[in-house]
Amino acid sequence: MSPQNALSILFIFAATLAGAQSDTFNLSSYKARYERRPAMSLNGQANFQGNYRNYREAENSGSARARLYWQELRNTDALISSWGLSGSLQGGFGQSSGLSSGRYNSGYFSATIQREQSHYYRENRFWGWGGALHSDGSLTSLNNINRNLDFSLAPKIFRGLGRIEFAEDALLASWMIEDLREAGVVTDFTPEDITALARTITDLIGNRTFDFRRRRIYELGQLHSTLQERGLAERESFALFAILNDNWAFANRSTLPHGRRLAYGLEGNFDSNWNREENPVINSTRFYTYGLAFAEFSSARIHNNRGGGQWTAMLGGGYYYSRRKYDKDNSLPSKEGPFARASVGYTYRWLPSSRTILSWDNTVTATWGLPNTLNPFISSENQASWNSGLDLEYFVNYQWSFRLRAGTYLFYNEIPDRIVFSPEFQFSTFYYIF
């Protein structure tokens, strides 16, 4: 083959490849914007967990939990905000061996309110504030009846640069148009067509209501109208309706982030705990607080238009104060001092279809000088942990999903020298009310 012919074939191949790539939609180019996106879910969960420690100590436990969750998100050019309310009830049982062997039954409740806002005063520059108010309580019967009640408040302020965007609506639009092309309903499309359909999806999801039947008719009509306006579905057909309805009914609720974000600021924590047992000598009230200066960086990328990974890293340092009181005349000396905290996390999500989500998350955390919040007077001041989990979630429809989780938790305390390894297998189901 002559050099001229070889160059001609190479030029034709490159031109064909460039043309094919121009029709491929880049999910990282999509930026969702909406005024309001509410969601409410009911989560039922069954759990079995084992803890195996050195010194021949072991504990096996099981539990069942119901959790109600509501959130409202806003994502505009100037403001990102989130509201979250959650409450849960849980019952459990367990059996332990070693130094504190025995069986127990337990009941728990928790309630949390979360609020955060990021105000963008210039492109990719923001300031914000946030906070969480949390309360939980427990009733446990192991050797004696233990009652525990905890309240905590954690405010924070921050500044930073960058922004994490989300492209899950564009992924759903891409799935819809690809299915329509495979069925012969759509012959050709452009990235602008996918963007237009994704914008419609973003607007519709933010307005879901309790009236599912009427709402579904309206939503499918809006999707169809967008395809007609783009010249993609000029004629109505059964295949068109079936594909739109199937993708819309089974659209999962995963997130597909992309972008970078750096935030730095101040965080506080105020925690008060009330503990009562049958033996009044060990009844106690605890106060615990700290202030923390922190910097946090997040970086997310989309891979192959079917999933993505996200890295997070946090570094902070501050000062803490804790005090425990047993009765009017009996208090432990207060404890205070500087501390530092660092963590690194990675999460990978793979979305092979609109019905399935596979995710793998890992978090490594290390703390120097800060006692454990649950017991700041006898727990180690230097500790490290690794938390890893693999989740498979399948959507029966838009409102109902099943989730299987296999996880492991590894914890190390310097004083006393203790290593805790906790494997976990969990099955849960989620029902999204809207």
Q: What is the pLDDT of residue 301?
A: 95
Q: What pLDDT is attached to residue 236?
A: 80
Give CA separation, 84 vs 70, 81, 89, 138, 414, in Å: 6, 10, 17, 23, 36
Contact 248, 227 (CB under 8 A): no
Judge whether 34 and 202 are in contact, CB under 8 Å: yes
Exposure of 310 by Cβ count < 10 A (0-12 exposed, 13-18 middle, 19+ buried)?
A: buried
CA distance 78 to 82: 14
Contacts of 284 (CB under 8 A, 6+ apart): 275, 324, 325, 326
Q: What are phi and psi of 176, to 5 degrees?
A: -60, -50
CB 414 within 8 A of CB 427: no
pLDDT computed for residue 38 by the predictor: 85
What type of residue sits at position 167?
A
CA angle 395, 401, 402 (to 5 degrees): 110
Q: Per the domain annotation, does 22 fall within a domain?
A: no
| Sequence letter at residue 73 | L
The pLDDT score that the predictor gives to residue 350 is: 92
Name the residue range of residue 385's domain: 31-167+256-432
Cα 285 from Cα 323, distance rounded (Å): 9
Calpha distance 371→261 (Å, rounded): 30
- pLDDT of 372 reads 58
pLDDT of residue 270: 94
User: What is the Cβ-side half-sphere exposure of residue 276, based on CA atoms within 13 angstroms?
Assistant: 5
pLDDT of residue 177: 92
Query: pLDDT value at position 281?
Result: 65
Q: 57 exposed, middle or buried (CB, 10 Å; 0-12, 13-18, 19+)?
A: middle
Element (H, E) at 167: none
Q: Mind listing the pLDDT tens digit of every residue in the chain (434 residues)?
A: 454 554 444 444 333 333 333 346 788 899 999 988 888 888 887 877 777 766 666 777 788 889 999 999 999 999 999 999 999 998 888 777 665 667 778 888 999 999 999 999 998 999 999 999 999 998 877 666 788 899 999 999 999 999 999 999 999 999 899 999 998 888 889 999 999 999 999 988 866 555 667 778 888 899 999 999 998 887 788 889 999 988 887 777 778 999 999 999 999 999 998 888 776 666 788 888 999 999 999 999 998 888 999 999 999 999 999 888 876 667 777 888 899 999 999 999 998 877 889 999 999 999 998 765 545 555 557 889 999 999 999 988 777 889 999 999 998 887 667 788 889 888 888 888 76
Residues in Cβ contact with 116 at an 8 Å cutoff, skipping those fewer than 6 apart: 81, 82, 128, 129, 130, 131
SS3 127: strand
The one-letter amino acid code at 67 reads R
Task: Say if 228 falls within a structural domain.
Answer: no
Helix (H, G, I), strand (E, B) or coil at 109: strand
Question: Tokens in use for 195?
Answer: 């963007």
Q: State phi, psi for 136 to the nearest 5 degrees.
A: -145, 155
Can you tell me which residue has the tokens 């189901």? 429
> Looking up tokens 């967990």, which residue turns up?
49
**Alpha carbons 315 and 317: distance in angstroms, whole number:** 7
**Alpha-carbon span 255 to 347, nearest angstrom:** 12
**The pLDDT of residue 101:** 66
Residue 302 lies in a domain: yes
Q: Decide: 232 and 63 in contact? Cβ < 8 Å.
A: no
Residue 19 within a domain: no
Number of domains in the chain: 1
Q: Is residue 365 part of a domain?
A: yes
Q: How far apart are CA 348 and CA 41, in angstroms?
A: 23
Report how far residue 430's alpha carbon sits from residue 393's, in angstroms, rounded to the nearest whole number: 10
Q: Amino acid identity, residue 24?
A: T
- CA distances for 181 relative to 159, 243, 403, angstroms: 45, 10, 31
CATH number for position 360: 2.40.128
Report the pLDDT value the prediction gives residue 134, as an integer from 0 to 100. Answer: 95
Q: Is residue 183 part of a domain?
A: no
**Residue 182: inside a domain, yes or no?**
no
- Asked if residue 261 is part of any domain, the answer here is yes
Q: CB–CB of 53/72 below 8 Å? A: no
